[in-house]
A and B are shown apart, each in its own frame.
Chain A
Amino acid sequence: MESHVPHKQRLWLYALTALILIFLVLPTLIVIPMSFSSANSLAFPPPGWSMRWYESFFGQEKWLLSAWVSLRVAFGTMIVATTLGTAAAYGLHVGSFALRGTISSVLIAPLAIPSILLAIGMFFVYASAGLLNSMLGLVIAHTLVAIPFVLITMTAGFKTYDLSQEMVARSLGASRLKAFFTVTLPQLKFSVISAALLAFIVSFDEVVISVFISAGPNSTLTKVMFSTLRDDVDPTIAAVSTLMLIIATVPPLVLQLLANRKREP
């Protein structure tokens, strides 16, 4: 649409937008230059440049071990949450039963409940179930928080999909499961990948619950960051944060690019 307001009269709007962007983005990006600092403590602007904090990260077992734990937990969460969330979204989309609204609300609830509350609850439940400080416990806990994201993404995906295609596949001789995997799922590929990435990132970035239920050799990266931050602040934290930022942003960007390229013939 053609605008009738001259740019001059909208300068205040541009200024406001710039301000909002700065406050939103700058805190995220400021760790990047700090991670390349030569100083011994977190400082901005850095007095000089070096790679020593990355060397520190890759040189210390506690970082590498916890990163490996986080990656495995995030991967497990991604698989479990995407599978369960997709199945739930499908069931809620296709079915018409009395408890539909209730089930949907319950599954979305972890999004609205404060994580500290969840974390305390999980600590006591897992303590009696023997799941504390275990990979399995972490995967289950993170799946709980990741499912709402998968559910929302997949529900949006199913809404754009014409279910009569699955019916036609069944009439052509495919069982319901086969119809789902050969006709429905391939068309929701991008929704599934987005949902999986979200689940991975939710788990990988999760702090509060991990602080409560992970410890020892099964501590997550975020938990180790948190305890390190409490004891001594050194710029290795900035290096770790930068690496996490890359893991959280690069795959979605790549996906976006792929999706865009697919749309153009």
Chain B
Amino acid sequence: MSRSAPSALPVFISSLSKHYGAFCAVDTVSVDIAAGEFLTLLGPSGSGKTTLLMMLAGFARPSSGSVRLGDQEVVHLPPHKRNIGMVFQNYALFPHMSVGENIAYPLKLRGVGRMECGERVGKVLDLVQLGGYQDRRITQLSGGQRQRIALARAIVFEPRILLMDEPLSALDKQLRETMQIEIRRLHDRLGMTTISVTHDQREALTMSDRVAVFSRGRLAQVAAPKDLYERPVSRFIADFIGESSFLPVQKVSGGLAYGGQLLHLADAADADLPEPMLMLRPERLDVVYAGQAARDENTNMFNGTVRSVVFQGESLLFEVGLDQGDVVQVRQSNRSQCTENLPSKGERVDLLLNRFDTRIVRGEG
């Protein structure tokens, strides 16, 4: 958790809903965001994450529920009275103003004097590493620079909360990765409570303190990136964050079994989940020639045949057909001494899974 600025406010969202006729875009969502926290709303398109952001900003009126910034209820406040900075997907810089005028816009509205205005614009430009750009026209800026200016304009008036709607989606991959790190660094420096919306899981995992995953208007899970990846509560989350294969497991006395074979679980309590499914992350499995590894209580073993091997640069992706009929993906990193000895298509193999990577998820969806 990052250091929070003294002016940062916590956000309390409780039972917030938004209906459009019979369609429920956001369905009784409750989540508390700590002062200075960076929360990302992640979900497929149409999952309600943007609608939630628009309700926080004041552009959409909730059908029911409450949003509090600190101890102030803001549901009925218009956007301009919320004192929330917002970065839009397309940046929405004002093309009829220079860079400096764009950034000074919120300051002028707040009656900040000329001198102080210029000073603060200069400071925030330094912060986004575009010092001296005051007099540039918006049309002279590259995509990445526009992104920084939009960010500068949204934070220059020291808003209590910063909202970002798909802030990096218009940038190419390389720039996006640089900006992810940079936004995170900026956040750590300013400690502003930040809520960002994205459909890019990598972006969510890289930037956030916590990620809230949306599915069909509901909050599916809110957790720190690591927990979300390691301990997804449902098949939907496991599928959405990272890659995974799923195996159906049966409840037996003493736990869960796959193909009649009792599984050694990381957490024995997982056996009680409804509709349990075994989640297999491709990078957590090891593929070895059949019969080469010994069984022990810290390892689960699955038998199968290699269906294909795909070379993907830094890793190799195996598709293994298990004897029970399920298909599992396995990723082996590309290190020369290992790669030489890996099985190829059609060969019999055993898949090894460490007990502590043996995670069960709820099999809905």
Q: Which residues of A contact B (CB under 8 A)?
A: 162, 164-165, 167-176, 178-179, 182-183, 186-187
8 smallest beta-carbon distances between A and B, as pairs: A172-B106, A171-B86, A168-B92, A173-B109, A170-B79, A164-B92, A165-B92, A186-B96
Q: Select from chain B the residue with minimum beta-carbon distance to A163.
A: B92
Contacts of A173 in B (CB 8 A): 80, 83, 106, 109-110, 157
Instruction: Show 18 A/B contacts (Cβ-Cβ < 8 Å), sorted by A.
Output: A162-B90, A162-B92, A164-B89, A167-B79, A167-B88, A169-B105, A170-B59, A171-B57, A171-B80, A171-B82, A172-B80, A172-B86, A172-B154, A173-B80, A173-B106, A174-B80, A175-B78, A187-B95
Chain A binding surface SS class: helix
Contacts of B92 in A (CB 8 A): 162, 164-165, 167-168
Q: Is B16 an interface residue (CB 8 A)?
A: no
The distance in angstroms between the C-alpha atoms of A253 and B13, with both chains bound, is 56
Q: Is B225 an interface residue (CB 8 A)?
A: no
Q: Which residues of B contact A (CB under 8 A)?
A: 57-59, 78-80, 82-86, 88-90, 92-96, 105-106, 109-110, 153-154, 157, 163
The distance in angstroms between the C-alpha atoms of A169 and B88, with both chains bound, is 11
Q: Select from chain B the residue with minimum beta-carbon distance to A170.
A: B79
Provided the pairs A167-B59, A172-B157, A173-B109 are in contact, do residues A187 and B96 lie with their beta carbons within 8 angstroms? Answer: yes
Q: Select from chain A the residue with minimum beta-carbon distance to B90.
A: A164
Q: Select from chain B the residue with minimum beta-carbon distance to A172.
A: B106
The distance in angstroms between the C-alpha atoms of A62 and B88, with both chains bound, is 60
The distance in angstroms between the C-alpha atoms of A175 and B154, with both chains bound, is 16
Contacts of A167 in B (CB 8 A): 57, 59, 79, 86, 88, 92
Chain B binding surface SS class: loop
Contact status A171-B78, CB under 8 Å: no
The distance in angstroms between the C-alpha atoms of A110 and B163, with both chains bound, is 46
The distance in angstroms between the C-alpha atoms of A134 and B85, with both chains bound, is 53
Contacts of A168 in B (CB 8 A): 86, 88, 92, 153
Contacts of A186 in B (CB 8 A): 96
Contact status B109-A178, CB under 8 Å: yes
Q: Select from chain B the residue with minimum beta-carbon distance to A169.
A: B105
Contacts of B59 in A (CB 8 A): 167, 170
The distance in angstroms between the C-alpha atoms of A176 and B81, with both chains bound, is 11
Contact status A172-B153, CB under 8 Å: yes
Q: Select from chain A the residue with minimum beta-carbon distance to B153.
A: A172
User: Pick the contact of A183 from B80, B90, B94 — CB < 8 Å?
Assistant: B94
| Of listed A167, A176, A183, residue having the most chain B CB within 10 A | A167
Distance of A58 from chain B, by nearest CB (Å): 43
The distance in angstroms between the C-alpha atoms of A165 and B88, with both chains bound, is 9
Distance of B100 from chain A, by nearest CB (Å): 15
Contacts of A170 in B (CB 8 A): 58-59, 78-80
Q: Select from chain B the residue with minimum beta-carbon distance to A186.
A: B96
Contacts of A164 in B (CB 8 A): 88-90, 92
The distance in angstroms between the C-alpha atoms of A169 and B90, with both chains bound, is 14
User: Pick the contact of A171 from B84, B89, B94, B95 — CB < 8 Å?
Assistant: B84
